[in-house]
Amino acid sequence: MKPFRFGLEKVLALRALQAMKAQQALAEAQAAVLAAAAALEQVQAERNTFHLALAERRARGMPAWEWSRTSERLEAYREAERAAADALRQAQEAMAVRRTELQAAKQREETLNKLQERQREAHELAALAEEQVMLDELAQTMRLTRRRVDLS
């Protein structure tokens, strides 16, 4: 019997490549989430440091012109924190999308792997059946040959 050959081997290789690329995209998205989280923590730390310094200056007394300047800086920190939080949220959403894409790619690859395995099993069963037919024919031929020898 002919050796097993899976007709969709190229498609299976393509699916494996797609799964690998999806895995890489997920890793990049995870790195982006970590970077965005670090950026948010950095902005929050800077804002907290500014708040502590501001509390010390207020305790010593601040001139009026410095109040408006600190108010502007506080608003800039709040805006930077909002932007960093938005960037983190977007990175998390992108990571969720990449995770879904990876799951879909792995599922498509697994489907083809299962199909290949089923076809391999069917091929092996057909080979066993063919071998059994050949053995049955051989046994029948040997029996007929013995009868002829016995009759002579």
| pLDDT in the model for residue 99 | 97
In terms of C-beta density within 10 A (0-12 exposed, 13-18 middle, 19 or more buried), how is residue 71 classed? exposed
Calculate the alpha carbon distances from 93 to 97, 119, 137 in Å: 6, 39, 66
Which mean pLDDT values do the consecutive 10-residue runs of the chain (152 residues) have?
Answer: 82 92 97 98 95 85 80 92 97 98 96 92 92 91 82 68
The angle at the Cα of 3, spanning 17 to 128, to the nearest 5 degrees, equals 120
| pLDDT in the model for residue 4 | 79
Q: Residues near 54 by Cβ (< 8 Å), separated by ≥ 6?
A: 70, 74
Strand ranges for the chain from DSSP E: none
| pLDDT in the model for residue 44 | 96
| pLDDT in the model for residue 97 | 98
pTM comes to 0.72
- In the chain, domain spans: 9-115
| pLDDT in the model for residue 152 | 65
